[in-house]
């Protein structure tokens, strides 16, 4: 992001760091949105679910900028297909991608395959990467993935459950990579994506950010980074559940005057919605079930931005 000029030809409306990149189509008010996704841990634990999840998250990311998907390209990265287990992974991932594309109405327009990716006979995790392109009706006044002003109401869209299989919480904190990955409810994904597109088209949202790797707590922190605007929320989750990775969820923020219309639209779309708090201040405060979390935003963002350099120093 610091080395590649992502603003080539001055078409970039939303660049690196958001849920999806957005490019303007010069001569019109519309634009193109692009998102690439895959979670190798999910695909390793359940290739069919992992393949479907990659498509679902890419479509969800496009919806976070108001885009409707128009095409998908894939790059299917796997180990040695002469190994029956790897051949099975390839087949199941393709079936997951196919099911999700049909349910979310995303045509597959191209793709390629990279096989025999292994070291000393050990194959890589199945990594069926997808890139989805969508169209944005208007690139004017698109919401940000970050909080942009204080005193906005924060709403959590979607259903939360204790789904930890393949989660970053287990992998990074406990060195565990097992279990079943989160369920992919394609009907719920379609309802959420359509709701987001409508709300964005109507100009009702200032912030939209999907929940994915790391769960709610990570998404909330990412919403605060870059703007210096904190958040105070209360959620019906245990401290551990702050990091579970249920799918078909998004955090949105709106002006107080838009809240009632937002909640009504969510109800009509059959998307669970809960007002959880407000933006503002210089800290992240989370009241969970039986615990409170209070973090200084500046210190937390410094740790976040320096994580990779520090990891490289100790590698």
Structural domains in the chain, sorted by start: 8-136 (3.30.1330.10), 153-314 (3.90.650.10)
Q: What does the pLDDT average to over 256-276? A: 98
**pLDDT on residue 122:** 93
Question: Model-level pTM?
Answer: 0.94
The pLDDT score that the predictor gives to residue 283 is 97
**Predicted pLDDT of residue 75:** 97
Number of helices (H), then strands (E), belonging to the chain: the values are 10, 15
Mean predicted confidence (pLDDT) in 38-48: 98
Q: Is the pLDDT of residue 5 over 70?
A: no
Q: Is the pLDDT of residue 8 over 80?
A: no
Mean of pLDDT over the chain: 94
| Model pLDDT, residue 1 | 45
Beta bridge partners of 129: 75
Name residue, tokens 């939360």: 160
Strands 153-157 and 273-279: antiparallel
Please report which confidence band the pLDDT of residue 4 belongs to, taking 50, 70 and 90 as the band edges.
Answer: low
User: For strand 250-254 and strand 207-210, is the pairing parallel, antiparallel, or unpaired?
Assistant: antiparallel
The Cα–Cα gap between 146 and 112 comes to: 34
Between CA 182 and CA 244 the distance in angstroms is: 9
Q: What is the mean pLDDT of residues 194-204?
A: 97
pLDDT band at residue 312 using 50, 70 and 90 as cut-offs: confident
């Amino acid at each position: 992001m610091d080395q590649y000029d992502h603003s080539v030809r001055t078409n970039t409306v939303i660049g690196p760091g958001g849920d999806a990149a957005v490019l303007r189509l010069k001569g019109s008010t519309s634009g193109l949105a692009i998102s690439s996704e895959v979670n190798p841990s999910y695909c390793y634990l359940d290739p069919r679910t992992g393949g479907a999840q990659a498509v679902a998250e890419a479509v969800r990311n496009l919806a976070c900028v108001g885009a409707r998907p128009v095409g998908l390209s894939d790059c299917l990265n796997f180990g040695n297909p002469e190994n029956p287990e790897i051949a099975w992974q390839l087949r199941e991932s393709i079936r997951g991608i196919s099911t999700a594309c049909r349910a979310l109405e995303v045509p597959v327009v191209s793709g390629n395959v990279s096989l025999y990716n292994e070291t000393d006979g050990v194959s890589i995790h199945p990594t069926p990467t997808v890139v989805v392109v969508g169209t944005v009706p208007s690139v004017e006044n698109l919401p940000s993935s970050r909080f942009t002003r204080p005193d906005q109401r924060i709403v959590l869209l979607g259903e939360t459950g204790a789904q930890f299989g393949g989660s970053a919480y287990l992998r990074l904190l406990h060195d565990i990579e097992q279990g079943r990955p989160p369920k992919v409810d394609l009907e719920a994904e379609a309802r959420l994506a359509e709701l987001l597109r409508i709300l964005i088209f109507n100009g009702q949202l200032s912030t939209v950010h999907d929940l994915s790797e790391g769960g709610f707590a990570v998404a909330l922190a990412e919403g605060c980074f870059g703007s210096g605007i904190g958040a105070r929320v209360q959620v019906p989750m245990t401290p551990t559940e702050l990091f579970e990775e249920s799918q078909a969820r998004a955090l949105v923020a709106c002006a107080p005057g838009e809240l009632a219309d937002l909640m009504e639209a969510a109800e009509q779309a059959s998307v669970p919605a809960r007002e959880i708090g407000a933006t503002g201040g210089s800290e992240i405060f989370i009241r969970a079930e039986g615990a409170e979390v209070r973090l200084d935003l500046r210190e937390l963002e410094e740790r976040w931005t320096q994580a990779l350099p520090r990891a490289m120093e100790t590698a």
